[in-house]
A and B are shown apart, each in its own frame.
Chain A
Amino acid sequence: MNFESFREKIGYQPVLLGVFALLASGALALASSATGEAIAAAEAKDLRDSLSEVLPQGMADNDFLKDTVELEKNGNAVTIYRARKDGVVKAALFKVVERGYAADIQVLMAVDADGRTLGVRVLKHAETPGLGDKIEVKKDAWIKGFDGKSLGDPAPEKWAVKKDSGIFDQFAGATITPRAVVKAVKGGLEFFAAHKAEITG
């Protein structure tokens, strides 16, 4: 029996599919284990870079990546990195997550001891390229508009994009994305205010 007719046999098809599924799983497992460490390292480096980006220079003299406290926010664990100077907590750095247009937007923010934002950066998002991705500091300075804002400044009802009669700009063609970021930052400040004692303690 030649291969041509053997290939048409009913038994050949599932075996072929099975073999390819196995090969594919094998290739993925291999690739995952080969890249896992490098990806984790690259992401850790990203975290370190972005943590030092939201924190103004000279705010900390400790290794804030190691000085952490775990708190709970809406049932999820949040890691708070504490920047200290002479042993006193000067700022808290933590991640907040808000649902954006396409997927969750991860926002990293630094809050000083008085509850003012020192800096905000978007860590991870899947917003529309060219529209929603202006929340990245690389593409637009918009995210810097949060610097120095606190829960009392602007007033709580002004913590919104201009379309919702707030003070923050929305982007042409993308309102949901900046709205989500504004909500995330406001939520972060409220979270800090509610847990201030635990964080600075």
Chain B
Amino acid sequence: MSDNYGNIMKEGLWEQNVVFAQLLAMCPTMAVTTSGTNGLGMGLATTAVLVVSNILVSMIRHTVSSQVRIPVFVVLIATLVTVVDMAMNAWLHELYKVLGLFIALIVVNCAILGRAEAFAVKNGVGASAVDGLAMGLGFTGALTFIGLIREFLGSGTLFAQASNLLGPSFAFLEMKLPGYGGALLMILPPGGFAILGFLLAGKRVMERRLDERKAEKAQLAAA
């Protein structure tokens, strides 16, 4: 495992992207990416939980024995999400009314336990925090991207209701394609699977092209 923060960022955002590379967290990915705003909201809330859970897991990694680590982490994450849920309900009530539906869904996000297991339990607090942030932002990016595509094809809008989430100053993000009713299929689960499939295929093709180009360059250099 790399201690280089730049590498950790790159891994989280692209190479080991939660959605596009690890194919984790498919439940929230399919469920909330019906619009760009929903994807963004879910992604940001997950990022916050992921950073804190990674830090906590990293802090207790020497105390917890490997035999009981899973139940300990599950209790930890569930507690964390519940506390975040209550705190937001109490002090950020307006935002909670928008995001409230998503918060509880974070508990079932296997990416959080996944990062605890795969990274935080083996690495220091700083690196774990960066990993949580990188993975969270990669997740946010993926969810927002899928959400935008599905929203655009499905209802002909972009970032609809973004001002509910981010405040009225972000109303400029909201766009509507006039005269397009939308293809409902894209909003429904099959559309989600189809879009994800195309994106995964696209990422593979892109990576293979990059590899080929690298190999060509290496050949040229060798010759």
Contact = CB atoms under 8 A, between A and B. Distances in A.
A172 B75 contact: no
A38 B96 CA distance: 13
B187 A16 contact: no
Interface string B63-82: 11101100110011011001
A46 B68 CA distance: 43
B217 interface: no
Interface in A32-47: 32, 34-35, 38-39, 42, 46
A139 B63 contact: no
Contacts of A39: 86, 89-90
Contact of B83 (A8, A20, A28, A129): A28
Given A27-B79, A128-B31, A173 B164 contact: no
A7 interface: yes
B159 interface: no
Contacts of A130: 32, 34-35, 38, 151, 187
Nearest to A125: B101
A62 interface: no
Interface string A83-115: 000000000000000000000000000000000
A100 to B, nearest CB: 12
Interface string A1-37: 0010001100011001100110010011001101100
A66 interface: no
Contacts of B67: 8, 13
Interface in A120-168: 126, 128-131, 133, 138-139
Nearest to A9: B65
A7 B61 CA distance: 12
B64 A138 contact: no
Contacts, number: 80
A166 to B, nearest CB: 21
Contacts of A3: 62
Contact of B86 (A8, A32, A139): A32
Nearest to B32: A129
B65 A129 contact: no
B91 A38 contact: yes
Interface string A42-73: 10001000000000000000000000000000
Interface in B90-105: 90-91, 93, 97, 101-102
Given A12-B65, A13-B65, A131-B34, A20 B90 contact: no
Interface residues of B, number: 35
Nearest to B83: A31
16 contacts: A3-B62, A7-B63, A8-B67, A16-B65, A16-B72, A20-B72, A24-B75, A27-B83, A28-B82, A31-B87, A34-B90, A35-B91, A38-B91, A46-B97, A129-B102, A139-B161
B27 interface: no
B90 A38 contact: yes
A138 B72 contact: no
A173 B187 contact: yes
A172 B184 contact: yes
A129 B165 CA distance: 13
A21 B76 CA distance: 9
Nearest to B151: A130
Contacts of A133: 101
A122 B152 CA distance: 27
A8 to B, nearest CB: 6
B151 to A, nearest CB: 8
Given A24-B75, A32-B86, A39-B89, 20 more contacts: A7-B63, A8-B67, A16-B72, A20-B75, A20-B76, A27-B83, A31-B86, A31-B87, A35-B86, A35-B89, A35-B90, A38-B90, A38-B91, A39-B90, A129-B32, A129-B38, A130-B187, A131-B187, A172-B182, A173-B188
B101 A126 contact: yes
